[in-house]
Amino acid sequence: MKRWVGWPMIVALVAAAFLLTAGIAIARYEDQLYTTQQIRDVTEQAQILAASVSAAVSFGDRGAAEEYVNALKVNPELRAAGVYDGSGKLFARFSRGSALPRAMTLVPAGWDPLTDAGTLTVKVPVAAGGKTIGAVAVIATTEPAQRRLARYIGLILLVTMGALVIAVLGFSQAAISNRAEQLARVNARLKQEMDERQKTEEALRQSHKMEAIGQLSGGIAHDFNNLIMIVKGSLGLLRKRLGPEILQPRAEQYLISADEALDRATALTQRILAFSRRQPLSARPVNLSLVVADMNALIKHSVGEEVKIETALASQWQTLCDVSQMENVILNLAINARDAMPDGGVLAIGTRDVSLASAPPSVAEFIPGDYIALSVRDTGVGMSGEVLQRAFDPFFTTKPLGKGTGLGLSMTFGYVRQSNGYLAIASIPHRGTTITIYMPRIPESET
Amino acid sequence: MAARARGWLAGVVALLWMSQASQAQDPVEYTVKAAYLTKFVPFINWPDQALPPGAPVTICIVGEDPFGPALDKIAAAAGAGSRPLVIRRIATTDTAETQILARCQIAYAGDPLTSLDVIDALKGKPVVTVTDSGMRARGIISFVMRDNHVRFDIDDAAAERSGIHFSSKLLELARAVNRRSEGP
């Protein structure tokens, strides 16, 4: 509404003023034209009458002159017409309301048309043989100036109003389409925001789920670990008490397999603890580029000949982390990538320094700042949306039974979160998967 | 011209004079007739050979002259326009005079005998013969008296034969017109 009260209104008003002025000018011109035209018309009629009555005036035939004069009665515009003889006396006439002078002087100065109070008087000489022998006077009605003015003003107003209405319609139309456009833009933005919000909510829910699972499994693993310690301690004491001579022949192998099972249980609980961020970490400042570079041979050995390895190590910043755990994580991701590329492919590992103002995709509860991004990308089978949703869930695996524990990615997730970093995952089915670890940069003052 | 039958003719001068001199018609009647002789001129067209443009128009009075010096005065006043008027008086219609007669533009004959001679002599010639009222012989224009007013008849057929053309305005004022043959 504001827009339309602004300049378009001014333009409309200016246009209206212009139309009004033009209308007045045209009306004035028309009026002048009308007056001259009428003078010409009436003069013509008077001249015709003068030419017709010349003989009648010459021979003093009043009857013939009256017949000519009366012929002008058919023109309703004419109020009176008269013929004057050589001495200037009124000789023949007809009159409708307007009085003719009884006599007139036949001097050239008297031939000018005379406009007065709604009447137009025209006088022309009657000539015969090159001599002026009389005169003709014709009085015509003119439309009063006020009435003509009123008519013109009415016309001008009508035209102006019409133009204004068109202008108003045009501008309101423009305003409406403008509004519609704005609405469409707002709608598009709303939709985009809704989509973003949905994604954020999804990430948050995922994060809460991992939190809950982590707490539960972490608690269980912790208690289990204590129980395993007790069993392990008890088994050691039992071995000492019984001595080798009793154990040797019959029971040694049972103790050994029990010990082995306990070791496996310990490893399992360690992994669960890692996922639930309860593992003890010995963090120190490191450059992740160097960590990856040191692992080059190990990774090459792990993924085999089929997979081509590309590294782009651009990161210069340092982060605080447990190096051996980080190595585990990187190795784990490399092996996952290899498993996703049974027919070979490219494994790309890269590090770079990024300053992030907002959360990367699929990351929730993000704190903006400087990060070192370590990404592991494969050109493998990728993941469907459903699988992607559960990728970090403990014990969730797409590998055949007995091949994977379903703890690799969940452990990675737990470790990264425990190190105040973030884990982002992106995948397109049949195109590949990219997992990116964002580790916080240590401010220079702390190193 | 039935419409013209209602009309009456009277010059302004005639009206003024007639109100006083009722019975003594002659002086007033002939003053009017003299004025008419001059007033016909603007409404008549002669062939160019007979009357070159700008040449003076000659009005001839053949035989008895009923007008006297009044005619000369009227002619002098009327001739002030585009064409000068010349008044000639011709005594007889002898052979010698006939040559002069043929050079007139208007020939007036007042008495019955001269009238017949003039009409005979000028038949087919571009001269407007004018005869007075109350005579059997009738020229191209013949005066008639009606209700004490001077009027005239026009023999347009004879005018056509003489190559003379009358203005329709004048024809309309005539009491009676002997119409010319309808042209194709």
Six token digits for residue A144: 């009063």
**Rounded CA gap, A25 and A162, in Å?**
18
Whole-structure pTM value: 0.48
Out of A251-265, A357-371, B71-85, B119-133, least confident range: B71-85
Q: Which residues of B touch A54 (CB under 8 A)?
A: 42, 169
Confidence band of B14 (pLDDT split at 50, 70, 90):
very low
Residue of B nearest to A129 (CA): B42
How much is the pLDDT for B19? 41
Confidence band of A218 (pLDDT split at 50, 70, 90):
confident
Residue A167 has pLDDT above 70, yes or no: yes
Residue of A nearest to B82 (CA): A130
DSSP assignment string, A362-393:
T--S---EEEEEEEEEE-S----HHHHHHTTS
Query: What distance in Å separates residue B2's CA from the closest CA in chain A?
Result: 12
Place of tokens 């009309």: B7
Question: Could you tell me how many CB contacts below 8 A there are between chain A and chain B?
Answer: 62
Q: Which residues contact A282 (CB under 8 A, 6 or more apart)?
A: A322
**Rounded CA gap, A151 and A31, in Å?**
11
Measuring CA to CA, which residue among A384, A390, A398 is closest to residue A428? A384
Whether residue B78 and residue A54 make contact (CB cut-off 8 A), yes or no, is: no
Question: What string of H, E and C letters represents the secondary structure of A32-78?
Answer: HHHHHHHHHHHHHHHHHHHHHHHHHHHCCCHHHHHHHHHHHHHCCCE
Residue of A nearest to B4 (CA): A64
Q: Which residue has the higher pLDDT, A437 or A389?
A: A437
| Average pLDDT, rounded, for chain A | 85
How much is the pLDDT for A446? 56
How much is the pLDDT for B26? 62
A55: nearest CB among B8, B10, B173: B173
**Rounded CA gap, A440 and A422, in Å?**
9
- Among residues 49-108 of chain A, which lie with CB inside 8 Å of chain B? 52, 54-56, 58-64, 67, 85-87, 89
Confidence band of B93 (pLDDT split at 50, 70, 90):
low
**Complex ipTM tops 0.90:** no
B42: nearest CB among A61, A67, A128: A128
The dihedral formed by the CA atoms of B2, B3, B6 and B7, expressed in degrees to the nearest 10: -120
Q: Which residues of A touch B78 (CB under 8 A)?
A: 129, 131
C-beta separation of A61 from A55 below 8 A:
yes
Please give the DSSP secondary-structure letter assigned to residue B91. Answer: -
Q: Which residues of A touch B41 (CB under 8 A)?
A: 129
A131: nearest CB among B3, B81, B172: B81
Residue of B nearest to A58 (CA): B39
How much is the pLDDT for B6? 44
Place of tokens 């996922």: A275
